């Protein structure tokens, strides 16, 4: 799962009221020119989106008035795009069109269902995202000044988020109460800190750069201490009081999204956001059952190849309980993750022609979030490994996890997007079906790359595959078929080798975040389908490096757009975007 640092772009940033209608295409206009004009007209909005991101001097505006402006903006974008003949565009223009159309529909749906009124779930929250980014290093006085301004803005930002949560609470639009218990740890990491230097927000002041004079460093630290004490801590205390005493006690009791008002339509919109398809819950559920059955056969073959003589449930229990499969210390787990990452570096050139310049580091998940966090997360420059409760972090699953979260998964794919100067700003967002589909594809690719050295490692990869296929069953079961928390847990327990603690945190994530878990397997299946299509069409001309570079060069796109890109790749005789390195 990619690192969810700041998802403000579509859902929580302020939007300008843009007169995009003035540049919409007429039937006589060239389609490419018309699209360029629409993109040009939204540039100021995206610039404001960047200005409101937490790397600048203030936090986002998330009040209802801002949300209404955003709704008007995206509806106008949709109207303008409908006037353009997509078939007359080049491949690059079609990808631009598709991504913009997807973003517009998703944003319009988020505003329609007022998703901003639920900025917290079992997995993340608006305050945990601030905590996560607080320790980032700065290199200039300007960056430190901007950071202090953001800290000063925290009371306003928290008040707007709390007001939105109150509105959601009043209409029953909350995560289920059962998955919110204990999710206040990120707040307590600030409110219960022994002093300001023990809060996450002191992180940038621990090691300041030498290019800032000592006197200025002292001044900045003094200001920071006062702001954290007088602004940040009170904001967190107010949020903690509301969350524990009002929000959790009055949150909805039912698990399924379909139990909320307009819940069926909301869940269908979630399916589109996270899969970019119009599949129904019933279709997804049936697909999941089919794929689970197929993967179970592979797992049985792997179990037999390992030499284990017992039954499948006995093998799962063996994997979950035998000490040989678990690290003894957090450092042991981190060191093994680093070893796996370096092993990939040794074979990367055989499978990719073009690699990002940026590298990634490996850190443990922050202690305040670790009990409810996933096993790991990755993104540009970082791979987080959860070292909490080591008996729930199996080593046989670590190779697959590392390939997914670091490279060639999220850390590699997202870094390529960041470094691509040809992609417009609006193309640098994240589309889950593509991003998670690619990362899960990388797990299976690890078998081809020779990175699973034991049958236990390979079984761990297959367990991760069936886990994602089972999500298709579990997510739709919870949100449209009345499945209980216990039913969902049992299904994962019986079909995968996931430890029970991870199953518990995962199921709670599916309950609180409808549809997101559908991204992975649906996206991966599409990438494999396209690869097999290209291999069949190109025969001896198929080049795996060129294929991978083609998929990665698109950036995050809807799955139908990936079809378009691979079809063009085939028509061009298998020539990739970087022929000099492929």
Q: Please report the pLDDT score of residue 54 as a whole number.
A: 43
**The pair of three-digit structure tokens given for residue 246, joined into one six-digit string:** 């009002």
Between CA 46 and CA 59 the distance in angstroms is 15
Where does the pLDDT of residue 101 fall: very low under 50, low under 70, confident under 90, or very high at 90 and above? very high
Q: Please report the pLDDT score of residue 122 as a whole number.
A: 81
Where does the pLDDT of residue 25 fall: very low under 50, low under 70, confident under 90, or very high at 90 and above? very low
CA distances from residue 253 to 175, 231, 512 in whole angstroms, order as listed: 9, 34, 12
Where does the pLDDT of residue 71 fall: very low under 50, low under 70, confident under 90, or very high at 90 and above? confident
What confidence tens digit (pLDDT) does each residue in 360-389 have?
Answer: 999 999 887 888 888 999 999 999 999 999
Summarize the confidence of residues 75-90 as an average pLDDT. 94
Summarize the confidence of residues 277-297 as an average pLDDT. 98
Residue 333 reports pLDDT greater than 70: yes
Measured from the Cβ of residue 32, the count of other Cβ atoms closer than 10 Å reads 17
143 Cβ partners below 8 Å, 6+ apart?
A: none
Q: Is the peptide bond before 546 cis (omega within 30 degrees of 0)?
A: no
Between CA 525 and CA 470 the distance in angstroms is 14
Residue 448 reports pLDDT greater than 60: yes
Residue 133 reports pLDDT greater than 80: no
184 Cβ partners below 8 Å, 6+ apart?
A: 240, 243, 244
Residue 13 reports pLDDT greater than 60: no
Residue 69 reports pLDDT greater than 90: no
Residue 14 reports pLDDT greater than 50: no
Summarize the confidence of residues 249-264 as an average pLDDT. 96
Mean pLDDT lowest among 15-24, 125-134, 164-173: 15-24
Summarize the confidence of residues 448-474 as an average pLDDT. 98
Report which of 77, 143, 140 is spatially closest to residue 111, judged by C-alpha positions: 77
Summarize the confidence of residues 159-174 as an average pLDDT. 97
String of DSSP letters for 109-167: HHHHTTGGG--B-SS-BHHHHHHHHTT----SHHHHHHHHHHHHTHHHHHHHHHHHHHH
Summarize the confidence of residues 403-416 as an average pLDDT. 97
Structural contact between residues 388 and 378, judged by C-beta atoms closer than 8 angstroms: no
Q: What percent of the chain has pLDDT over 70?
A: 93
Summarize the confidence of residues 534-540 as an average pLDDT. 98
- The interaxial angle of helices 519-538 and 455-480, nearest 10 deg, is 120
Report which of 32, 39, 95, 82 is spatially closest to residue 568, judged by C-alpha positions: 95
Residue 70 reports pLDDT greater than 90: no
Report which of 469, 560, 444, 438 is spatially closest to residue 287, judged by C-alpha positions: 469
Mean pLDDT for the chain overall:
91
Task: Pick 474 or 75 by higher pLDDT.
Answer: 474
Summarize the confidence of residues 203-208 as an average pLDDT. 92
């Amino acid at each position: 799962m990619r690192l969810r640092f700041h998802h403000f772009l579509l859902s929580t940033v302020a939007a300008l009221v843009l007169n995009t209608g003035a540049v919409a295409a007429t039937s006589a206009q060239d389609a490419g020119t018309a699209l360029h004009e629409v993109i040009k007209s939204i540039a100021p909005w995206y610039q404001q989106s960047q200005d409101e991101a937490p790397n600048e001097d203030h936090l986002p505006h998330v009040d209802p008035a801002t949300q209404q402006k955003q709704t008007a903006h995206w509806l106008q974008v949709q109207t303008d795009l409908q006037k353009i003949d997509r078939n007359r565009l080049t491949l690059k223009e079609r990808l631009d069109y598709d991504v913009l159309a997807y973003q517009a529909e998703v944003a319009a749906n988020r505003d329609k269902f007022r998703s901003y009124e639920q900025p917290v779930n079992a997995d993340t929250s608006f305050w945990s995202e601030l905590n996560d980014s607080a320790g980032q290093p700065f290199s200039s006085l300007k960056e430190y000044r901007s950071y202090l301004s953001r800290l000063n803005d925290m009371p306003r930002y928290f008040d707007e988020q709390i007001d939105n949560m109150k509105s959601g609470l009043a209409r029953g639009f909350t995560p289920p109460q059962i998955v919110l218990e204990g999710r206040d740890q990120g707040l307590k990491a600030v409110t219960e800190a022994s002093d300001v230097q023990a809060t996450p927000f002191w992180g940038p002041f621990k090691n300041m750069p030498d290019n800032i004079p000592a006197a200025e460093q002292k001044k900045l630290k003094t200001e920071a201490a006062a702001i954290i004490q007088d602004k940040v801590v009170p904001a967190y205390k107010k949020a903690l009081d509301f969350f524990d005493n009002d929000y959790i006690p009055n949150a909805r009791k039912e698990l399924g999204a379909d139990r909320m008002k307009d819940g069926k339509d909301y869940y269908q919109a979630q399916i589109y956001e996270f899969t970019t398809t119009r599949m129904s819950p019933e279709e997804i559920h049936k697909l999941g059952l089919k794929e689970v059955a197929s993967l179970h056969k592979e797992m049985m073959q792997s179990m037999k190849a390992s030499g284990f003589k017992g039954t499948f449930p006995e093998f799962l229990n063996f994997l979950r309980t035998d000490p040989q499969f678990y690290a003894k210390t957090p450092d042991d787990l981190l060191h093994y993750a680093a070893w796996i990452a370096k092993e990939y570096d040794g074979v990367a050139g055989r499978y990719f022609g073009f690699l990002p310049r940026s590298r990634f580091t490996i850190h443990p998940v922050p202690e305040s979030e670790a009990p409810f966090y996933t096993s790991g997360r990755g993104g540009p420059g970082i791979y987080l490994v959860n070292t909490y409760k080591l008996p729930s972090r199996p080593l046989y699953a670590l190779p697959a996890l590392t390939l997914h979260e670091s490279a060639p998964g999220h850390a590699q794919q997202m870094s390529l997007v960041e470094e691509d100067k040809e992609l417009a700003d609006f193309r640098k967002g994240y589309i889950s079906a593509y991003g998670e589909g690619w990362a899960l594809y990388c797990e299976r690719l690890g078998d081809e790359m020779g990175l699973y050295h034991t049958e236990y490692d390979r079984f761990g990869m297959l367990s991760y595959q069936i886990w994602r296929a089972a999500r298709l069953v579990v997510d739709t079961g919870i949100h449209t078929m009345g499945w209980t928390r216990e039913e969902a847990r049992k299904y994962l327990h019986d079909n995968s080798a996931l430890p029970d603690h991870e199953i518990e945190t995962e199921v709670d994530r599916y309950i609180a975040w409808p549809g997101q878990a559908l991204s992975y397997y649906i996206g991966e299946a599409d990438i494999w389908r396209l690869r097999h299509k290209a291999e069949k069409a190109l025969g001896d001309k198929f080049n795996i490096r060129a294929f991978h570079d083609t998929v990665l060069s698109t950036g995050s796109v809807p799955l139908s757009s990936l079809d378009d890109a691979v079809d063009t790749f085939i028509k061009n005789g298998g020539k990739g975007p970087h022929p000099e390195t492929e």
